């Protein structure tokens, strides 16, 4: 008797979402099976990895990743063009760090100008991220949405404390939206419901249940993402069917394992290889949990993850 591979059947489907313009636009989601299990269903679109850039020099990044962009990170336009032209980036995620009140406290108008300049310089999809200051992001992302009108960007992150203003801006300027909750499937579901009740189409929504680095709660993040994906597929829960975001870089490159000098912990090996591996392992774990869109920093980590995606497909 020949072996028959056991197959699971699913009632639901992950919603597909496109961002960007023209032939460079990216599409994520659309699968009706768990990640990479193509023998059980259809997986029409590969996960997308976006290179993270900032609107100011990344002084708080470890030297091993900061040095990869030392010649371009002084200007976000130059940095974005470098990712597009030299690193073959499929998408860029611009984090408006300088608008945070504890950083440079740049105005929403300044952020809008930066976005216009970046969009004029690249033809690949752009993800626009605030500084994660709830009050300031409410103003900055409204200006950002207007500045990027017509470019079909992803903006975020909308949180419980500011989602109404940001949702209205995304609606007015026809952008996709990231909804971020704090590592709780019920909070993620509640925020998605609140956003769709404002008239925002769930097919334009991305769920961000937050990320964690390897060794810093990765297994909890994994379980939350997995439960979201299972709820969307097995239970056909429409509020849990938007694609999932893994904002990997910002969580990985702040832990001691990627920044502790080799002289302090020689048994940990090369600090550069250590950081690359940490980001790649974290990102790959997110993919297996159900992530459709990753934001990463180190080019070599991204290369590893892109190769892994290709092999699993």
Quote the distance between the C-alpha of residue 273 and its chain's center. Answer: 23
Q: pTM for the full model?
A: 0.95
Task: Tell me: pLDDT of 8 over 90.
Answer: no
Calculate mean pLDDT across residues 55-68: 95
pLDDT value, residue 4? 85
Quote the distance between the C-alpha of residue 274 and its chain's center. Answer: 22
What would you measure as the largest C-alpha separation in the chain, in angstroms? 70
For residue range 122-164, list pLDDT tens digits in order: 999 999 999 999 999 999 999 999 999 999 999 999 999 999 9
pLDDT value, residue 7? 87
Task: Tell me: pLDDT of 110 over 80.
Answer: yes
CATH number for the region 17-312 comes to: 3.20.20.20
Tokens of 25: 């636009």
Q: Sketch the domain layout of the chain as residue ranges.
A: 17-312
DSSP structural state of residue 166: H
pLDDT value, residue 177? 98
Kindly list the distances between the CA atom of residue 219 and the CA atoms of 183, 212, 257, 277, 293, in Å, as whole numbers in the listed order.
11, 8, 17, 17, 19
Report the C-alpha gap between 304 and 120 in whole angstroms.
Answer: 30
Name the average pLDDT for the chain.
96
DSSP structural state of residue 14: P
Q: How confident is the model at residue 116 (pLDDT cuts 50, 70, 90)?
A: very high
């Amino acid at each position: 008797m020949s072996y028959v591979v056991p197959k699971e059947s699913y009632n639901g489907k992950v919603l597909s979402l496109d961002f960007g313009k023209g032939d460079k636009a990216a599409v994520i989601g659309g699968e009706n099976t768990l990640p990479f299990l193509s023998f059980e269903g259809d997986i029409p679109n590969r996960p997308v990895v976006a290179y993270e850039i900032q609107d100011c020099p990344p002084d708080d990044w470890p030297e091993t990743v900061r040095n990869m962009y030392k010649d371009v990170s002084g200007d976000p336009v130059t940095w974005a063009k470098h990712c597009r032209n030299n690193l073959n980036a499929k998408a860029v995620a611009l984090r408006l760090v300088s608008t945070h009140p504890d950083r440079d406290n740049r105005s929403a108008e300044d952020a809008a100008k930066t976005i216009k300049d970046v969009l004029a310089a690249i033809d690949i999809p752009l993800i626009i991220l605030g500084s994660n200051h709830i009050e300031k992001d409410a103003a900055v992302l409204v200006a950002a949405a207007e500045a990027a009108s017509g470019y079909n960007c992803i903006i975020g992150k909308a949180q419980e404390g500011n989602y109404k203003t940001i949702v209205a801006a995304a609606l007015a300027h026809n952008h996709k939206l990231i909804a971020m909750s704090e590592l709780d499937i019920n909070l993620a579901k509640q925020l998605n419901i609140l956003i769709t009740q404002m008239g925002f189409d769930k097919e334009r929504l991305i769920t961000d249940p937050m990320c964690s680095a390897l060794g810093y709660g990765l297994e909890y993040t994994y379980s939350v993402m997995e439960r979201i994906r299972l709820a969307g597929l097995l239970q056909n829960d429409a509020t849990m069917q938007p694609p999932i975001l893994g904002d990997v870089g910002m969580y990985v490159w702040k832990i001691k394992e990627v920044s502790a000098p080799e002289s302090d912990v020689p048994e940990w090996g090369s600090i550069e290889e250590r950081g690359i591996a940490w980001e790649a392992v974290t990102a790959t774990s997110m993919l297996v949990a159900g992530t459709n869109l990753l934001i990463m920093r180190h080019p070599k980590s991204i290369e590893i993850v892109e190769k892994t995606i290709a092999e699993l497909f």
